[in-house]
Amino acid sequence: MLDKEIIVDTKEVEDYFYKELIKRGFIPEKKEIEEIADIVFDYLLSIGVLEEEDDE
């Protein structure tokens, strides 16, 4: 299995989902997009795709 460092910026996830939802005819609110980004991040942690690091 190939190890690859993945950095996930939740702001980038928010922007991506916002644009994609707009394309699909939805009008998401900022709070909804923030929640979706958090859910995606938590999901990736739960399946082992990401490991959370301390910012030091």
pLDDT at 49: 84
Distance between CA atoms of residues 20 and 37, nearest Å? 13
pLDDT at 18: 95
Position 3 scores a pLDDT of 77
The dihedral through the CA atoms of 49, 10, 16, 26 has a sign that is positive
Of 46, 25, 32, which Cα lies nearest the Cα of 14?
A: 32
* Average pLDDT for 29-49: 92
pLDDT digits (tens, 9 = 90+) for 4-29: 777 888 899 999 999 999 999 999 99
In terms of pLDDT, which residue wins out, 38 or 7? 38
pLDDT at 28: 94
